[in-house]
Structure 1
């Protein structure tokens, strides 16, 4: 007979109490338990009982999925993922991970935390190395947009309070439709007392005093709809956006303003692609971007970006990396829920398929790549052209890339036809030349920052130096 699942929800309970601004005594009283019992629950010393789960769902409007994020199964999966890092000789099997969690749950938690700290230390070292190479300092030299980019990265590119608020707003506006139509958005705008018109000179303009909102008629329909959603979500979810901005800890006023805009973009995407519906459709369609953008009436880039945000506790999507690259190779958007991390300064590895995609608009390219740590990734890249609406202004040309680890290839339609396990089938790529240890790379632009070079006047290879 199977043992009932033991749910440890310490992290969830602490987060819930923090969001509600409650002391332990207040929450304990609401649940009808003692403060010491609540303290043990929050420390994961005791699992939740069925009566407590019922009280939490009734008193705090939680679902079982919300509490399942710290269950034994989730812990075992976290332990297994941490132990699958290439720094270890061999991965940990599912049975071994489950047994470790049952026998030593606290030790398993500490192992996962230690691995996370190791990964973060590596990222900080990468940031410092690239900052020194670029002439910037790691902290004081950060520009406001870099502060905001790093904030979103630290948040895992998922903002729960905004996502849930936008999902509820979408249900209110769209009814039975998978996504709010433009007509439904305009009707909601009228309900808010807004007049919506057209005017050239910018993607959107809003006169708060007159409650007048205008959109550039030259932009594609998906862009106009997104900008309308941005304004409506910004008004309807203003308190949530303000609270997140206030709690962000960003130092400069410029960074906080940029964050507010970024949170508006996040809320607009969540409004047009509500979490549960979009996640279910993504799984059904095996993450076919064209099918998703048609179903939710969004652009190719918007659908890619939304897939990288599906990190809700208890209902996570496939961990994806996402980026946007311009014609010069600059990464103008980036996020990764995978071990792959992008260079903070300069361009990405030239062997990555996204660079070729920039020059070939409206064609999808796929690639199986392997990073120096031995992890394989399947990526899709597509070049896009965003019209300017005028011959006098050149259109914006760039490419977007979306990818996942090869172990998730079965759920990623762009991996069809790729032998993800074949020896020698993967393109060897790095993060950037400054950080890549590969010695025999035909595309190397300069040596890695932590290696000394050796020059042999009597002969040379593709590059005029070696490094030890």
Structure 2
């Protein structure tokens, strides 16, 4: 435990008050001076490993309470809550949030609880998708146990079958007595997949392209073989409605499918060897761009971490349809957000091409953060007519020097396009939204 990192003044102060001790009495019990204890309690000195051991030995103290802020998502969780438009006029930045959490973690937890339960008596608008998204954020979109289990299963299938798609199909047939059948679109109106237990078939629409078919087969294998782990995660999320639980369960199933098709160690090694070359990774693992983008937000295994990407999805009208923060720390509003100067909007005019752009933004930040972003359009799997989405990947520019897509691109902050808080909430007089020249600067790869 690094002494310099452990500021635990409020926890120690609550412990002292619980024991009914003065600072002088507690300092004597710990073998330190009252003035030093006073500095620790005011977070002006870290809690050293030696003093922590004394606290644990002399008092009934659970050291896990030092990480109590994790229950509310730490600094990022508070930043997200304080980015609410109701607090926009207060100008609360990330540094203030950090100070609030460090100085008064219980008060911060009380605020988070009040915010999360606001209007619980009946005024609160139900948002199952939002509740599920917050649950995903608490895990930073990395479910370690399931990821390990998926990797073990993928390795077993690859060793026994060689080809993953064939291995997954045979796994369904041999172990679960399910065949895969491709059906005409008119037989499955409005559906892309269906599990027919009476016919013992996983039925897929002919409208699904190859990558999407493999994804659905992997999803079904994961659902059948890792059911207990999935349900443990869903129960642990403590979501209040069936709709939120179903949304979270669907996210986990998608996560499992990606983990089977892109097993963690092999995928991370390929990322590092290729400089996260997205085109190469797509072909090597036979996945779609949106499947690849989501997998890149999950690489947070302890001692084997990848770059901290976020991913977002936009509709043709410019509305953000989904957002996964991963471990990036990025915070986005999901309603009313519009940044026409950002590259995902230009992507719709460059169908299927990969565009890049450096931008600065940061909801609730003391200063906007500097990001390198990559965007391209994808076709919606199984859509009866041409329906497109823009997928954007982002990573802090300080990490982007490792990326194949960033070669030859300036990562200097002064060359980045500044984005505000979204058109409905931004009052900037010098907005770059109409600047088509800046849009044209997005580089085609």
TM-score, normalised by the number of residues in structure 2: 0.69
- 1:188 corresponds in structure 2 to 171
Distance in 2 of aligned mates of 1:104 and 1:435: 49
Q: Structure 1 stretches of 5 or more lacking a match?
A: 1-5, 9-99, 445-468
Name the CA distance, whole Å, in 2 between partners of 1:286 and 1:228: 29
Q: Judging changes above 3 Å, is the alpha-carbon distance between structure 1 residues 105 and 237 closer, same or farther for their aligned structure 2 residues?
A: farther
Structure 2 counterpart of 1:242:
231
Q: Give runs of aligned pairs for residues 104-119 of structure 1, distance below 5 A.
A: 117-119=74-76
- Asked if structure 1 preserves the Cα contact closer than 8 Å seen for 2:312 and 2:322, the reply is yes
Tell me which of 125, 143, 162 is aligned to 1:159: 143
Cα distance, 1:371–1:138 mapped onto 2, change above 3 Å? farther
Displacement of 1:118 after TM fit?
3.8
Matched, 1:428 2:418: yes
Aligned pairs for 1:220-299 within 5 A = 220-299=209-288
* Cα distance in structure 2, aligned partners of 1:104 and 1:241: 41
For each residue in 1:309-335, what CA deviation from the matched residue of structure 2 results, as whole angstroms up to 9, or x when unmatched? 111122111011111111011222211
Q: Matches of 1:437 and 1:149 in 2, distance apart?
A: 28
Structure 1 residue 176: Cα displacement: 7.8
Contact 1:318 / 1:408 at 8 angstroms: preserved in 2? yes
Does structure 2 conserve the Cα–Cα contact (< 8 Å) formed by 1:326 and 1:397? yes
How far 1:347 moved relative to its partner?
2.6
3-state secondary structure, aligned to 1:340: coil
Q: Please say if 1:120 is aligned against 2:77.
A: yes
By relative contact order (CA 8 Å, sep 6+), the higher-ranking structure is 2
Counterpart Cα distance in 2 of 1:243 and 1:137 = 27
For residues 51 and 150 of structure 2, the distance between their equivalents in structure 1, rounded to whole angstroms, comes to: 36
Shift of 1:377: 0.9
Q: 1:344 aligned to 2:334? A: yes
Q: Determine the C-alpha separation between the residues in 1 that align with 2:75 and 2:356.
A: 31
Question: Counterpart of 1:362?
Answer: 352
The alpha carbon displacement at 1:210 in A equals 4.2
User: CA 1:412–1:216 in structure 2 vs 1: closer, same or farther (change >3 Å)?
Assistant: same
Instruction: Mark the CA change 1:101 to 1:326 in structure 2 (over 3 Å): closer, same or farther.
Output: farther
Pick closer, same or farther for the CA change 1:433–1:312 going to 2, 3 Å: same
- Distance in 1 (CA, whole Å) between partners of 2:142 and 2:119 is 24
CA contact (8 A) 1:361 1:385 kept: no
Q: Deviations over 1:286-325 (max 9, x none)?
A: 1111100111111111111100111112211101111111
Partner secondary structure for residue 323 of structure 2 = strand
SS of residue in 2 equivalent to 1:227: helix
CA–CA distance in structure 2, aligned partners of residues 325 and 253 of structure 1: 26
Aligned residues: 338
> Could you say what secondary structure the match of 1:332 adopts?
strand
Structure 2 segments unaligned to the other structure (5+ residues): 4-45, 53-63, 90-116, 435-445
What's the offset of the Cα at 1:111? 11
Superposition RMSD on alpha carbons, in Å? Answer: 3.3
In 1: Cα distance, 2:154 partner to 2:317 partner:
38
Contact 1:353 1:381 survives alignment (8 Å): yes
TM-score with structure 1 length normalisation? Answer: 0.65
Aligned mates of 1:121, 1:138 — CA distance in 2 = 19
Distance 1:436 1:315 in 2: 39
Contact 1:342 1:348 in 2 (8 A): no
Which secondary structure state, in structure 1, belongs to the residue aligned with residue 238 of structure 2? coil
Per the TM alignment, residue 222 of structure 1 is displaced from its structure 2 partner at its CA by 0.3
* Paired residues for 1:38-117 under 5 Å: 117=74
